Amino acid sequence: MKPQIHPTWYPEAKAICACGEVWTVGATVPELHTDVCAKCHPYFTGEQRIVDTEGQVDRFMRRLQAREEALQQLEQRKVARVSPDLAISTLELGRRMEKVLADAGLVKVGDLLAIMEEKGDDGLTEIKGLGLKGLADLKKGLRARGYILPGDEAAGGMATAA
């Protein structure tokens, strides 16, 4: 066996817990420090507590909270995207179409949806300057934003937001 390769053995090494408990063990260092022992460990005490090592629980809780906030923001954006209070200009129909609708007194998406629910496509084609192509572009813009239009088979014919 090679000489002087073994560490020094301390048969009477002190083990000291964070709770103040001290006991004797055999070790390669004269003094050991621990966070928990049989006197203070939740398993032995029956007490419910979280033993946190270097903030791992805090980091997890922060990640969990950040995820919840991100999900809430995503849901708020989805609701805002299909709000009937949005201006018609958000549909990006073009200046001419927006002017035609504004002249007819339609400035919000909810106004369009109300006419479509009340009178259907005919209600919109009655507007001076809005033809079938304009109606098709309008419906395409509404569907792209996530609105469900009357006559959409999958929606059951409702004129509300998804």
Residues 16-66 pLDDT 10s = 999 999 999 999 999 999 998 988 887 877 777 666 666 777 888 889 999
CA distance 158 to 162: 10
Q: Is residue 157 part of a domain?
A: no
Q: What is the number of structural domains in the chain?
A: 3
Phi/psi for 112 (5° steps) reads -60, -45
For residue 141, the surrounding DSSP H or E stretch is helix 132-145
Same domain, 34 and 75: no
Q: Are 135 and 111 in contact (CB under 8 A)?
A: no
Q: What pTM was estimated for this model as a whole?
A: 0.44
Q: Is residue 3 part of a domain?
A: no
pLDDT at 79 over 60: yes
Segments forming the whole domain that contains residue 137: 88-145
User: Per the domain annotation, does 129 fall within a domain?
Assistant: yes
